[in-house]
Structure 1
Amino acid sequence: MARIPKETVDQIIHHADIVEVVGDFVSLKKKGQNMWACCPFHHEKSPSFSVAPAKGLYKCFGCGKAGGVVQFIMDIEGTSYVEALKYLAKKYGIDVQEEEKTPEQQLAQNEKDSQFIVSSWAKDHYHKLLNDNEEGQSVGWSYLRQRGLNQTTISTFELGYSLDQWDDLLKSAAAAGFEQKYLEKTGLVVVREDDNGQDTGRRYDRFRGRVMFPIHNVSGRVIGFGARTLKPHDKTAKYLNSPESEIYHKSDVLYGLYQARQPIRSEELCYLVEGYLDVLSLHQGGIKNVVATSGTSLTEGQIRLLKRYTDNVTVLYDGDAAGIRASLRGIDMLLEGGLNVRVVLFPDGDDPDSYIRKVGDQRFREHVETASQDFIQFKTDLVSREAAQDPVKKAEAIREVLQSIAKVPDPIKRQVFLQQTSHTFGIDEQVLITEYNKLVRNATGKASGGQASPSSGSGSGASYPNKANNQQPTTKNQLTPEEEAEALMYGASAEDLMGGGGDLGTLTREDLEPVPDVVEQCEREVVRLLLLYSAQPLTPDVAVAQYLLEQLDETPFKTSIYADMLHLCRQELEQGRWPEVRTLIQHGRSDIRSVVAELATEKYELSPNWTTHQIHVPREVDQLQIACDNAILRLNKVNVERELAVRLDALRQPSDEATMMENLQTIHLLKQMDNQLANLLGTVIPRLGW
C-alpha cells in the first residue's frame, strides 16, 4: 500500500482546523472555551459532544467517541486513516504525492474504500457520457434542458447519463482495471440468476438509458445513484435507486445535503422536498438550503441528520390531499425529533419543481413566505375541514391533533399548541388536557407492554397537571445518558444524578467502574502532565517535558501503552518538538489516539464568575512544579511498595540463610525508601513490624 510522506501528513494536520472540519457535519455552539453540539455518532437531545479548539480534539461524554481531526473523519466516514488524510488534504488544497498505484492496489486498501472509489469512478464515467457522448447529449442533455437546468447546476450536482446498453459500464470498468466484485457490491452491476436463484455467470449494468443523479454523503463522497428513465414506454420504474450496500443506507441519506450544509446553517432553516428535481430547481433558483427524501418515507436516521444542522424545517408539498395525508406521520416524526416544523402547500397539480419554473424565483419565495404555516396549526385546519359538522369525525380529528402534540418534546410548546387547538375547535382547554393525558397514558402502557400508571408520561415528557386540583404528577427521576452527560457538564454529582439522596440503590462504586491498578494510574498521571503541559516552563531553562523525562530516565513503565507513549514523548523531544496533544492526537496508532483524547479532555471548566467575584481558585497550571514532583514521587512510591510486597512474600517462603539475609537487607532498604517518599509526599505511613 502506498504511504503518504510524513512531511505531507504534518502539513495536513497543521492546516486542518478541527472546528472547521467538525462544523461541516454538526452545528457547533461556543460554551466557555470549547464548542458543543449534539453528537453525530449517537442519538441525543442535549449536547454532550465537545470540541476543544486549543487542543485540536473532540470528545462525546455520552457515547465516548474521542480523537483528533483525522480520527473524526475516520469515525464519521467509516474510512481508513490514509483516506481520512486524503479527505483533509483535498479540503485544504494540499497535494498528496503517493507512489503510482493501479486500481487493484487502490481497491485493496479496504472494502469500504474500494466501494467509495468505484462509485466515484462511475460518477465520473456517467458525467463524461452526458457531456461528451452523442447519445448522452441528444437524450440526457435534451431532457435536462427541457427541465430548465443549466450547466452550473449540472456540474454542481455532478449529473450524468448511462448509455442504453447492457454492458457499457461493465466493459469500461474492466478496461480501467476495476474488480467486478465491487461493481456488484455497490449495485452498479446486476448478477443474472436463473429461476432457482442460481448465479448464471452473466452480468449486466443496472442503469441503462437513464439520467443519473449521484447521491453524496455529507462529506461529498458518492455512495449511490438515483436514475430516471427517458424511454416513454419503458415498463420499468420511472426512478431506480442503488440498492443498499456497505456505503449506502438510504434511510440515513438526504439528497442534496452535501451541497446544502452551509446554506442550512447560515439560514438556520432547511426546506424538505420529495424529489431530485425539486432540489435541483430550487437550488438553481437561489434557494440552496433544500434537501430531498428522494421518494422514500422520512426516517429517524434522516431526522437525526437534519438536526445536526438546524432545528427548523419547512416541508414543501404539492397540493394533492392524498399525498399530504400520507406524509403526516413523517412530520409527526420530525416533531418527535425536537424540530420546529412548518408546512407550505402549492396549488393543485404543482410541486416545488414545476411551480418555481412556472412563476419564477421571486414569486416562489413570496409564496413560501406567505403560505408557510406551523404544522400543528396546519394539521388542525386540515382535519377540522375534513370533519366539517360531523361530531364523531370532529372528535377523531381532535385526537389526531393531540397525538401530534404528544410528539413535541418541549412542554412549553405543547402547552401553546393545546391552547391553539382549543381555540380552533372551540373546546375547553381542560377537556383537551384530560384527553391528552389519556392518550399519553395509553401510549405508555402499550410501549411498556402493560398498564401505565395514572402519572406516567410519554416519551416526550410527563403528563400535564389537572387544573381543577392543581396536582402535578410525580415521576421517578431517571436520566438518559445524554441528560446525565449534560448534568456532568455543569458539575452535578453522582448523588444529584440519582435523585439527590445519595442512594445508588444496589449499585456500588465498584459496580459503576472497576478499581484501577495503582501503578497504571500513577503512570497515566505522568503521561497526562507530559501531554497537557510539555512546553510549560518550571524554571527559565527547564520545561515540564524535559523535567519529567529526566527524572524518569531510569524508571521503566510497566503499562505497555504508557511505556510506548513515554518513548514517543522522548522521541518528539529529541527531534526538537514538544510532545503536545495537537500532534499526538493524530498518531497512526488508534490506541494512542484514544488515550491522548481521554487524558486531554476535561469534563468541567472553571466558571468565570469566580474571577468576577474576586475569588481565587488555584489552578493546576499555576502549581506545575508541585504536580510534577508529586506524580514522580507517587510513581516511585508505588513501585517501591510493589517490590517490598514481593520481597516480603519471598521471606515467607522456605530458603537458605544467605537468601533470607539478602531479602531482609533489601526489605530494610525498601522500607527506608518508602518512608522517605512518604515524608516527601507529606503522608504519614505507620511503621510496619516484620
Structure 2
Amino acid sequence: MIDHATVERIIATANIQEVVQDFVSLKKRGVNYLGLCPFHNEKSPSFTVSPAKGIFKCFGCGKGGNSVNFIMELEHLSYFEALKYLGKKYGIEVKERELSLDEVKQNDDRESMMVLNAWAQRHFSDTLYHHIDGKNIGLAYLKERGMRDETIKKFQLGYSLDNRDAFSQSAIKQGFKKEYLVKAGLTIDHEHGLLDRFYGRVIFPIHSISGRVIGFGGRVLRNDKKTAKYLNSPESEIYHKGQTLYGIYFAKQAITRENKCLLVEGYTDVTSLHQAGIENVVASSGTSLTVEQIRLIKRFTPNVTILYDGDAAGIKASLRGIDLVLEEGLNVRVLLLPAGEDPDSFSKTRSAKELLEFIGEKEEDFISFKTNLLLVDAGKDPVKRAGLISDIVRSIGAIPDAIIRTVYIRECSRLLDIEERVLFSEVGSLRRKKYESDQQVVPHDIYAQLQHKELVVPSFVQGVFCEEQEKELIYYLLKYGERVHSTYEDVNGDSFEITVANYIIAEIKNDELEFNNLAYRQLFDEYYRMLNKGEQPEARHFLQHPDVKISELSVDILTSEHIASKLWEKHSAYVESEEMILKLAVPKSVIVYKTKIIQSVMGKLHTQLSVSHKEGNQEQVNAILAQLNQLNQLKMRLSKELDRVVL
C-alpha cells in the first residue's frame, strides 16, 4: 500500500487545473475554468474545473471527481496507477512503504521475471519468423488456421522449438538465471536437467492490462492424446490465471467504446474475432470465471455477452459460474452459435458487419436462456422442474438490482407457468438467508431493538424508485455515519452505542429494502461491507474512490447544499443543530423513505385492482385488497412514528 501521507501529498499537490490542462483546453470563467468534456462529444463546453474545490464536473455527461479520478477515467488506470502517474508528474516519490529485505527481493524477482518474459516473447516471435522450423511448422500452422501476419504480430505470437531444452539454453546464454526461468514457469528443473515447458508449441503471450507479458499459453502441434492440447504458465509472482483475461490489453478501448464485452473461451477465438474487425472481445482461457475477472471487465463496461459454441454439456457446466457475474451487477447476455461452430470458425466465414448483426439478433438475456435450456431437460418431470425452479431462483436472487429481479421473475413466471408470488417469495427467502449468513454490523439483539417488528415492510414490495430519499440517506451516511445516534442496552444490560450508519443500515437491511439508484446502492453496499470488516468508512474514502462513479456521487452530495425533504418541511420542523440531525432528521429520513415506497406500491396496486375488477377476476381482486389493507395499516403506523419523531 502507498502510505497515507504520500497519498495526501499527491492529492494536495496535484492541481486539478494543471492536470486537466494536459488533456483539455480550458478558459477562465469567473473563479472556475470551462472546456469541452474529454469523456463525451459536445459542441458547447459544459466541463467545469474548480481549483478552489480541487474537483472537475461535467454537467453534460455527469462525470466528476478529483485529479486522481480524472486520470483514472481518462487513462483507464487503477487508483494506485493514477497516484503513481500524478506522483511522477509532480516529482513525488511513491513508496508503498518501507519494505523488508524479503519484500525487496520479491519485488526484484517480479521485475526480473517481467524482463525475462519480455525477452522470451521476442525470442519466440523471432523463432516463428526466422528459424526454419518456426516457419515450416509454427508459422505454417497459424497460416493454415487463416491467421494473417498483422494479427500474428499484433498479439506477438511465437513458436518454441520441438527440442526439450533449446529455449532454456538460449536464455542461459543471454545471462538469465535458472532461478527466474523456473519461477516464471518457462523452464522445469528436471532431475535430468532443464526442460522447456512449452517445447514444440505455438506460443500465445498473455498480457497484463498495461500491456506487459505476464505469462504464456502454448498450443501443441503433435498428435499425441497423452499431451494436453493447451498449456498455460503456472501461477507465479506475476501471473495469476484467475485475475487476468486473455486479450484485455488489446480490447479495453474497444470495450469502452462499444460499452460491451464479448466473452469467449480460447486464444484463437479472440485473435480470429479481432482479425474479423470485432475487437471488444476477451477470453477466460478455459477457466471458470472468477470474481477478479468479472471486476476487470466491469472497469470498462457493465454489459457482457458470452459466446457459446453449442456444446450442451459445456454450456451447462459454465452456467454455474455465471451467477457470479450477475452478483457483481453486470448485465449478462448469451449468444449460442450454430451447431458445429465456435467463435474462431464462425468469424472466418463472415464480415464484421454480418457478425455484429448476428450478435444483435441472436443474443438473449441470460435468465431466459438458462430457463429455456433447462426446461428441455426437465420436461414434465415434477422433480426435475422443482430443481429447475430452485436453480433459476438462485440465479435471479444473485442479481443486485431489484427492478431487474422483478422483470426476470415475471418473465420466468410466464415461462415456467408458476405464480409470480411464489417466485417472489422464494427469491426473497433466498436473499434473506444470504443476508442473515453475513456477518452483522451490530449484534442481533440490537437489531431487534432498532427495528420495530410491526413496521417490517412486506416482502412483495419490490423495485420502487425513491431517488430523493435515497440521496438523503446517503448524505447522512457520508456526513455523519460515524457519529453516535443513540445508545441501547443488550440482553445482558450492557450499553451499546449505535452510530448513524448502524441505524440506517439496520433499518434498510432488516426490511430487505434496496436502493434503486445503482450508484447510491454501490456506495451503500461498500459502506456496509467496510463496517463488516471492522473499518469505519470516511467521506474522504469515497471522494477519492477508485471507481469514478462513486467519487462523482460523493462530490455531488458533499459539495451541494443539503435540501430537507418535503415531508420534513410539511411538519414545520427545522434542524438547527448537529444533535437534532442525529436524533431527529436521520430517523425521519428513514421513515419518509419507507412511506414513499409504501405510497408508490399502493398506487400500482390500485391500478391493478381496477384492471382486475374489469376482468372479473375476483381471486386477484381479493389478493390485491389484502395487500392494500396490509400496506395501509403499515402506512398509518409509519405516519404515527413520523409524528412522534418530529414532535
The two structures have a TM-score, normalised by structure 2, of 0.58
Per the alignment, residue 593 of structure 1 pairs with: none
Q: Look up the equivalent residue of 1:142 and give its one-letter code.
A: A
Alpha-carbon deviations, 1:16-41, whole Å to 9, x = none? 97998xxxxxx9899986479xxxxx
Matched letter for residue 402 of structure 1: V
1:266 paired to 2:257: yes
Task: Give the share of equivalent positions with the same residue, in percent.
Answer: 41
Two-structure CA RMSD over aligned residues (Å) = 4.5
Aligned counterparts of 1:347 and 1:140: Cα–Cα separation in 2: 30
1:355-398 deviation digits (Å, cap 9, x = unpaired): 12234444332221111000011112112222222222222212
Asked if 1 retains the 8 angstrom alpha-carbon contact of 2:68 and 2:79, the reply is no
Cα offset, 1:440, TM superposition: 3.1
Helix, strand or coil at the partner of 1:110: helix
1:685 corresponds to = none
Counterparts in 2 of 1:71 and 1:503: CA distance versus 1, 3 Å: farther
User: Where do 5+ consecutive residues of structure 1 fail to align?
Assistant: 1-13, 21-26, 37-48, 75-79, 83-106, 194-199, 457-462, 473-482, 513-600, 611-690
Distance 1:187 1:153, change over 3 A: same
Is the counterpart of residue 308 in structure 1 residue 261 in structure 2?
no
Q: State the partner residue of 2:481.
A: 494
Residue 328 of structure 1 pairs with residue 328 of structure 2: no
Residue-by-residue CA offset, 1:249-277 (whole Å, 9 max, x unaligned): 00101000000010000100000000000
- Residue among 401, 406, 427 paired with 1:410: 401
Write the distance in 2 (CA, Å) between the matches of 1:382 and 1:264.
28
Note the C-alpha offset of 1:606: 3.0
Q: Match for residue 206 of structure 2? A: 215
Deviation at 1:52, TM superposition (A): 2.4
Partner Cα separation in structure 1 for residue 173 and residue 475 of structure 2:
58
Matches within 5 A, 1:181-220: 181-193=179-191, 202-220=193-211
Q: Distance in 2 between matches of 1:148 and 1:412?
A: 45
Letter in 1 for 2:173: A
Q: Does 1:400 align with 2:391?
A: yes
1:536 matched residue in structure 2? none
Rounded Cα–Cα distance in structure 2 between residues aligned with 1:265 and 1:492: 33
**C-alpha deviations, 1:207-260, integer Å up to 9, x for none?**
101100000000000000000001123631110100011000001010000000
Match of 1:141, as an amino acid? L
SS at match of 1:148: coil
Q: CA separation in 2, counterparts of 1:249 and 1:54?
A: 27
Q: Secondary structure at the match of 1:298?
A: coil
Aligned equivalent of 1:356, options 344, 347, 351:
347
Q: CA deviation at 1:443?
A: 4.4
The 3-state SS of whatever aligns with 2:118 is helix
User: Measured at CA, do residues 181 and 131 of structure 1 come closer, stay the same or move farther in structure 2, by a change above 3 Å?
Assistant: same
Residue in structure 1 matched with residue 559 of structure 2 by the alignment = 606
Alignment partner for residue 114 of structure 1, among 112, 115, 138? Answer: 112
How far off is 1:344 after superposition? 0.1
Q: Distance in 2 between matches of 1:266 and 1:344?
A: 20
Instruction: Give the match's secondary structure for 1:331.
Output: helix
**Structure 2 residue 260 is matched with structure 1 residue 277:** no
- Tell me the distance in 2 between the aligned counterparts of 1:17 and 1:171: 50
What is the correspondence of 1:306-455 to structure 2 with a 5 Å cutoff?
306-444=297-435
The aligned residue for residue 676 of structure 1 is none
Structure 2 residue identity aligned to 1:465: P
| Structure 1 pair 503–307 and aligned structure 2 pair: CA distance change class (3 A) | farther
> Is the 1:190–1:203 contact (alpha carbons within 8 Å) kept by the matching residues of 2?
yes
Q: Distance in 1 between matches of 2:247 and 2:20?
A: 25
Query: 1:589 corresponds to which residue?
Result: none
Instruction: Report what 1:70 is aligned to.
Output: 84
Distance in 1 separating the partners of 2:22 and 2:393: 41
Give the distance between the partners of 1:604 and 1:404, measured in 2 at CA. 34
1:286-301 matches, within 5 Å, as 286-301=277-292
Number of corresponding residues: 431
Find the partner of 2:66 among 52, 57, 81: 52
Q: Secondary structure at the match of 1:310?
A: coil
Q: Where does residue 176 of structure 1 map in the other structure?
A: 174
Shift of 1:607: 2.8
Please state how far the C-alpha of 1:602 moved relative to its aligned partner.
Answer: 8.7
The 2-side partners of 1:289 and 1:65 are apart by: 23
Question: Structure 2 vs 1, CA of residues 133 and 58 (structure 1 numbering), >3 Å: closer, same or farther?
Answer: closer
How far residue 72 of structure 1 moved from its aligned partner, in angstroms, is 7.4
Alpha-carbon spacing, 1:35–1:318, altered in 2? closer, same or farther (3 Å): farther
Query: 3-state SS of the aligned residue for 2:219?
Result: strand
Counterparts of 1:302 and 1:55 in 2: how far apart (Å)? Answer: 22
Superposed CA offset, 1:109-156 (max 9, x none) = 812111110000000000000111110011011111111110111111
Whole-angstrom distance in 2 between the partners of 1:313 and 1:166: 41
Q: Counterparts of 2:151 and 2:462 in 1: how far apart (Å)?
A: 59
What's the offset of the Cα at 1:446?
Answer: 5.9
Q: Deviations over 1:155-193 (max 9, x none)?
A: 110000001112211121122121221111101110114
1:237 aligns with 2:262: no
Q: 1:139 aligns with which of 117, 132, 137?
A: 137
Distance of 1:276 and 1:146 partners within structure 2: 16
Amino acid at match of 1:134: I
Letter aligned with residue 299 of structure 2 = R
SS in 1 for 2:341: coil
**How far does residue 487 in structure 1 lie from its aligned partner after superposition?**
4.0
Counterpart-to-counterpart distance in 1, 2:349 and 2:71: 49
Contact kept, 8 Å, 2:487 with 2:496, in 1: the verdict is: no
Structure 1 CA distance for aligned equivalents of residues 115 and 314 of structure 2: 38
Q: Unmatched 5+ residue regions in structure 2?
A: 1-16, 24-37, 41-46, 58-62, 96-104, 449-455, 464-469, 490-494, 503-553, 564-647
Which residue in the other structure is 1:43 paired with? none
Aligned to 1:465: 458
Query: Offset at 1:494?
Result: 2.6
Q: Residue 192 of structure 1 contacts residue 203 of structure 1 at CA under 8 Å; is this kept in 2?
A: yes
Q: Which has the higher contact order (CA 8 A, sep 6+)?
A: 1
Q: Deviations over 1:495-535 (max 9, x none)?
A: 68x7x6598974699xx9xxxxxxxxxxxxxxxxxxxxxxx
Task: Tell me the distance in 2 between the aligned counterparts of 1:73 and 1:130.
Answer: 40
Once residues 475 and 311 of structure 2 are traced to their aligned partners in structure 1, the CA distance between those partners, rounded to angstroms, is 49
Structure whose CA Rg is larger: 1
Measure, in 1, the Cα distance between the counterparts of 2:488 and 2:161. 70
Q: For the Cα contact (< 8 Å) 1:275–1:295, is it kept in 2?
A: yes
CA distance in 1, matches of 2:433, 2:106: 54
Paired position in structure 1 for 2:601: none
Deviation at 1:409, TM superposition (A): 0.6
Q: Compared with structure 1, are the counterparts of its residues 35 and 399 closer, same or farther at alpha carbon in structure 2 (3 Å cutoff)?
A: farther
**1:58 Cα deviation (Å)?**
7.5
1 CA distance for matches of 2:254 and 2:137?
A: 32
Cα distance change on mapping 1:298 and 1:464 into 2, 3 Å: farther
1:418, distance to aligned residue in structure 2 (A): 0.8
Q: Secondary structure at the match of 2:214?
A: strand
Give the aligned partner of residue 239 of structure 2: 248
Q: Deviations 1:575-612 (Å, cap 9, x if unpaired)?
A: xxxxxxxxxxxxxxxxxxxxxxxxxx9997533999xx
Measured in 2, the distance between the counterparts of 1:116 and 1:50 equals 35
- Secondary structure in 2 aligned to 1:397? helix
Q: Deviations over 1:194-214 (max 9, x none)?
A: xxxxxx6x2121110110000
Shift of 1:317: 0.4
Q: 1:58 to 1:280 in 2, by over 3 A?
A: closer
